[in-house]
């Protein structure tokens, strides 16, 4: 607070609107990625929760239904996908919650950088620490459901692609409900219908790989869904955050 | 240097109650504007409107004689807003917190600058302690370090003196005056009595609208 030198104030003398934001955007996005990664890695339980949930649900099915490998193999693609989807959904509520509670979110909204890109950085971190680990874990749990070995790469790849879309779509819901103290249920209701296309083509891809039909078409559609989500979701997230802060 | 924040016929209604109506403001470089009023009179709301966070108001805002909608980008690059919540992450160290804010402000910056900013708010030696282990006043000081770290002409400070000790309050007051004298502008709400000085201006909010006085 006390300082000898007077602060330099020259913001208005240079063309702020043209020069600053472009170069600054990379720096800001990078810093946001780094900050969120550090934050989540320091609170491991938040990262582990969805993974443990995923493992528990899948472990319970053979016990609850039947250990018959034939039956399990038939329902495995759907089971793995549904469980992964719910696990991803479980972790969504905290995506913007912490920032909202401690005031960082209003600071995020007041930066001269485009909010959509900063929001995208936060979603990317969510995917890196939720979607990607779920996709990596799925083949291991597939063994438990006697999923045919040939479908493991498709399972992991479809989940990696699909969970990225899930994170993007879910973040819109999380941004809309961040202002509500108990937004969890509402978030699920908002987001689940939008998850259904991803679920259909994701589980479809694994099914097709088991049957030997070639999963390329399903994976292509998953990719297209991701491309669409990547294009539209950041703007929707930014708009939703503004609405939430306004309320 | 130009710096002019104007509001014309500003009005805001909350829960069927007018917080303020017909509020005309003209804030220029070199001023410290203190928004006063009892609890619930709309001080924070006014600051949020003036800092472009709330869109739920009537009237017009101008930044350097341009309507706020067009000038938003330039406005945000000259604004430093500190809200009720300090915006400091407990799991991160003060240095990491500041690094993020520095990057958001548009530059990667140097660690030396962050260390100097922390030292200027009396947090030397606490650089690498997770902010959650700091006291409320120290966390507030981490947020206040941004005043040194990212030089911006317009400061909008919502209760900046909360949880700050007596010496810290005096130093911060001094800092506000230095900022105003060097061509900046401060908009502040506080229940703490600021030392009267030539730059200080008051806006009083309360029941039945407002009256602004010098």
pLDDT digits (tens, 9 = 90+) for A45-75: 889 999 999 999 999 999 998 889 999 999 9
User: How many residues appear in chain A?
Assistant: 247
Q: In which region does residue B186 sit, left (phi positive, over 0), alpha (psi from -120 to 50) or beta (all else)?
A: beta
Total domains present in chain A: 1
Q: How many CB pairs under 8 A join A and B?
A: 146
Average pLDDT over residues A214-242: 95
Q: Is the pLDDT of residue A6 over 70?
A: no
Q: Is A3 among the domain residues?
A: no
What pLDDT shows up at residue A67? 87
CB contact under 8 A, A110 and B79: yes
Confidence of residue B16 (pLDDT cuts 50, 70, 90): confident
Question: How high is the pLDDT of residue A92?
Answer: 92
Q: In this predicted structure, what is the pLDDT of residue B14?
A: 83
Is the CB of A26 inside 8 Å of chain B's CB atoms?
no
Question: Which residue has tokens 């209604």?
Answer: B13
In a domain, A192, yes or no: yes
Residue A190 Cα, gap to closest chain B Cα (Å): 25
pLDDT computed for residue A197 by the predictor = 96
Cβ separation A16–B78 shorter than 8 A: yes
- Please report, rounded to a whole number, the percentage of residues in chain B having pLDDT higher than 70: 94
Q: Which of A1, A101, A242 sits opposite B172 (nearest CB)?
A: A1
> Does residue A12 lie within any of the structural domains?
no
Between positions 184 and 243 of A, the ones with CB within 8 A of B are 242
Q: Could you tell me the CA-to-CA distances from A199 to A92, A225, B36, B67, B149 in Å, in that order?
A: 17, 11, 55, 47, 47
**Cβ distance B151 to A7 under 8 Å?**
yes
Given a cut of 60, whether residue A12 has pLDDT beyond it is no
Q: At a CB cut-off of 8 Å and minimum separation 6, what does A167 contact?
A: A88, A92, A123, A126, A127, A130, A131
Residues A170-193, mean pLDDT to the nearest whole number: 91
Residue of B78, B92, B107 with shortest CB distance to A35:
B92
Chain A residues close to B99, C-beta within 8 Å:
31, 35
Q: Is the pLDDT assigned to residue A213 strictly greater than 90?
A: no
Asked, for residue A6, whether it belongs to a domain, the answer is no
Provide, as residue numbers in chain B, all residues whose Cβ is less than 8 Å from the Cβ of A97: none
Question: Is residue B68 predicted with pLDDT exceeding 50?
Answer: yes
CATH topology of domain B1-78+152-214: Rossmann fold (3.40.50)
CB B31 within 8 Å of CB B153: no
- Record the pTM: 0.88
Instruction: Encode pLDDT of B71-112 as tens digits.
Output: 888 899 899 999 888 899 999 999 999 999 999 887 777 889
Residues in chain B: 214
Domain holding A173, by residue range, is 24-246
Average pLDDT over residues A25-54: 93
pLDDT average, residue stretch B119-141: 92
- Nearest by Cα to B148 from A154, A188, A155, A6: A6
**Is the residue at A5 inside a domain?**
no
Task: Kindly report the number of other CB atoms within 10 A of residue A14's CB atom.
Answer: 11
Is the confidence at residue A32, as pLDDT, over 90?
yes
To the nearest whole Å, the CA of B132 is away from the closest chain A CA by 12
The sheet that has B79-82: what strands, in order across it?
A: B79-82, B154-158, B185-189, B32-36, B200-206, B209-213
Res A18: pLDDT: 39
Dihedral sign, Cα of residue B45, residue A9, residue A30, residue B143: negative
Enter the tokens of residue B137: 């006043």
Closest CB to B106 among A12, A98, A112: A112
What is the helix (H) or strand (E) element at residue A17, kind and residue range?
Answer: helix A16-42
Residue-averaged pLDDT of chain A: 88
Residue B2: partners with Cβ closer than 8 Å, 6 or more residues away: A12, B29, B64
Residue of B nearest to A3 (CA): B120
How do residues A100-151 score in pLDDT, each as one tens digit? 999 999 999 999 889 999 999 999 999 999 999 999 999 999 999 999 988 9
**Is pLDDT at A20 greater than 60 in this prediction?**
no
**CA angle A177-B52-B171, nearest 5°?**
105
Domain ranges of chain B: 1-78+152-214, 89-151
**Can you give the pLDDT at residue A156?**
96
Q: ipTM of this predicted complex? A: 0.87
């Amino acid at each position: 607070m006390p300082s000898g030198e007077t602060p330099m104030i020259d913001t208005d003398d240079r063309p702020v609107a043209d020069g600053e934001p472009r170069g600054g955007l990379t720096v800001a996005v990078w810093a946001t990625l780094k900050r969120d990664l550090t934050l989540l890695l320091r609170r491991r339980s938040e990262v582990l929760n969805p993974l443990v949930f995923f493992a528990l649900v899948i472990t319970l099915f053979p016990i609850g239904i039947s250990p018959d490998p034939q039956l399990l193999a038939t329902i495995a693609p759907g089971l793995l996908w549904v469980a992964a989807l719910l696990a991803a959904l479980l972790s969504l509520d905290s995506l913007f919650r912490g920032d909202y509670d401690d005031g960082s979110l209003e600071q995020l909204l007041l930066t001269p950088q485009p909010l959509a890109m900063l929001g995208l950085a936060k979603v990317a971190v969510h995917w890196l620490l939720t979607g990607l680990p779920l996709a990596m874990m799925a083949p291991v749990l597939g063994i438990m459901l006697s999923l045919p070995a040939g479908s493991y790469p498709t399972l992991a790849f479809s989940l990696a692609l699909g969970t990225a879309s899930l994170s993007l779509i879910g973040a819109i819901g999380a941004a809309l409900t961040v202002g509500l103290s108990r937004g969890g249920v509402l978030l699920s209701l908002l987001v689940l219908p939008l998850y259904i296309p991803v679920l259909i083509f994701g589980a479809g891809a694994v099914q097709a790989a088991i049957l030997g039909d070639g999963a390329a078409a399903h994976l292509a559609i998953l990719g297209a869904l991701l491309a669409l989500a990547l294009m539209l979701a950041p703007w929707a997230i930014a708009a939703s955050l503004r609405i939430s802060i306004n309320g | 240097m130009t710096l002019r924040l104007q509001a014309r016929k500003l009005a805001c209604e909350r829960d069927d109650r007018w917080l303020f109506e017909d509020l005309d403001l003209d804030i220029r470089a070199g001023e410290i504007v203190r928004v006063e009023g009892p609890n619930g009179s709309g001080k924070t709301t006014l600051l949020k409107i003036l800092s472009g966070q709330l869109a739920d108001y009537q009237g017009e805002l101008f930044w350097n004689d341009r309507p706020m909608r067009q000038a938003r980008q330039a406005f945000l690059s000259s604004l430093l807003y500190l809200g009720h919540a300090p915006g400091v992450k407990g799991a991160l160290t003060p240095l990491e917190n500041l690094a993020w804010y520095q990057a958001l402000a548009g530059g990667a910056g140097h660690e030396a600058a962050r260390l100097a900013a922390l030292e200027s708010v009396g947090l030397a030696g606490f650089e690498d302690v997770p902010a959650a282990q700091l006291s409320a006043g120290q966390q507030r000081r981490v947020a206040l370090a941004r005043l040194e770290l990212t030089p911006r002409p317009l400061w909008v400070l919502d209760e900046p003196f909360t949880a700050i000790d007596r010496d810290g309050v005096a130093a911060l007051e001094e800092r506000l005056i230095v900022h105003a004298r060097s061509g900046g502008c401060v908009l502040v709400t506080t229940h703490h009595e600021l030392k009267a000085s030539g730059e200080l201006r008051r806006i009083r909010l309360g029941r039945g609208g407002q009256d602004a006085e010098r």
